[in-house]
């Protein structure tokens, strides 16, 4: 019996959320790290993690070196990887996660920023299923991107195994945009506004 192709989730949780912190201070509020801000009683990062855990075969969460104990607790169940160069940009963080994924047997890596708690599980499942489809060579080459009916693309994005080397070389603030701009994409239309919705400032959170 052929085993189901494995999809490993990469949760990027290494940012400092400076805009969130600055906006909080400007309004005299004592808001926590945006990844720890509560939504329905659970931290933002926990929502994103559980969305990946519902579909992925394993999840790697990348954090900055000074990540607090509360964030690590929120990421319980994921394999936590520390990116020493996290302050240099999301590209460095994603590269660290991709290198860690080399220890996992996988057919695709599915990337989700940890500040996107509203992505639906059904959307992640759709992207993961598309990444698992076809024979091994097709899976290895594929990059799957979700898009709204109006064409706007978002997260999560699934990268076939052959792209891991390129992910490992990422740096700076552009993340994987360069790869997405130069490689044919398989775009999957979903009815999920969460693929574009992140937490940038406290005003993005629902009323408590």
19-23, 93-97, 161-165, 173-177: the lowest-pLDDT one: 19-23
What was the pLDDT predicted at 28? Answer: 56
Asked whether the predicted pLDDT for residue 114 surpasses 80, the reply is yes
Which DSSP string do the residues of 4-22 spell out, in sequence order?
PPPEEEEEE-----HHHHH
Q: Which domains does the chain have, with CATH numbers?
A: 7-199 (3.90.550.10)
174 vs 6: which has the higher pLDDT: 6
What global pTM score does this model have? Answer: 0.93
8 A C-beta contact, residue 58 and residue 104: yes
Q: Tell me the pLDDT tens digit for each residue of 150-203.
A: 999 999 999 999 999 999 999 888 778 888 888 999 999 999 999 999 999 888
What was the pLDDT predicted at 32? Answer: 67
Q: Tell me the pLDDT tens digit for each residue of 49-76.
A: 999 999 999 999 999 999 999 999 999 9
Q: Give the three-class secondary structure for 188.
A: strand
Q: How wide is the angle at C-alpha 98 spanned by C-alphas 96 and 99, nearest 5°? A: 65
What was the pLDDT predicted at 1? Answer: 45
3-7, 22-26, 140-144, 180-184: the lowest-pLDDT one: 22-26
Contacts of residue 75, defined as CB under 8 A and 6 or more positions apart, other chains included, come to 11, 13, 45, 46, 49, 61, 63
Residue-averaged pLDDT of the chain: 91
CA distance 171 to 96: 10
CA distance 79 to 77: 7
Asked whether the predicted pLDDT for residue 135 surpasses 80, the reply is yes
Asked whether the predicted pLDDT for residue 17 surpasses 80, the reply is no
Percent of the chain with pLDDT over 70: 93
114 vs 1: which has the higher pLDDT: 114
What was the pLDDT predicted at 165? Answer: 94
Asked whether the predicted pLDDT for residue 121 surpasses 80, the reply is yes
């Amino acid at each position: 019996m052929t085993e189901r192709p494995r999809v490993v989730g990469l949760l990027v949780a290494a940012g400092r959320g400076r805009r969130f912190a600055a906006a909080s201070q400007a309004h005299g509020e004592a808001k926590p790290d945006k990844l720890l801000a509560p939504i329905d009683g659970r931290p933002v990062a926990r929502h994103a993690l559980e969305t990946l855990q519902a579909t992925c075969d394993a999840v790697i969460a990348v954090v900055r070196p000074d990540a607090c104990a509360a964030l690590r607790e929120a990421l319980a169940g994921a394999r936590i990887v520390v990116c020493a160069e996290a302050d240099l940009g999301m590209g460095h963080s994603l590269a660290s996660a991709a290198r860690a994924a080399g220890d996992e047997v996988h057919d695709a890596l599915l990337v989700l920023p940890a500040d996107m708690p509203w992505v639906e599980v059904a959307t992640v499942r759709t992207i993961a299923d598309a990444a698992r489809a076809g024979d091994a060579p097709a899976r290895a080459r594929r990059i799957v991107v979700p898009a709204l009916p109006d064409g706007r693309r978002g997260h999560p994005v699934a990268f076939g195994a052959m792209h891991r080397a390129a992910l490992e070389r990422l740096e700076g603030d552009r993340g994987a945009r360069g790869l997405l701009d130069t490689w044919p994409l398989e775009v999957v239309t979903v009815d999920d506004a969460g693929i574009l919705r992140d937490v940038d400032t406290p005003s993005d959170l629902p009323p408590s």
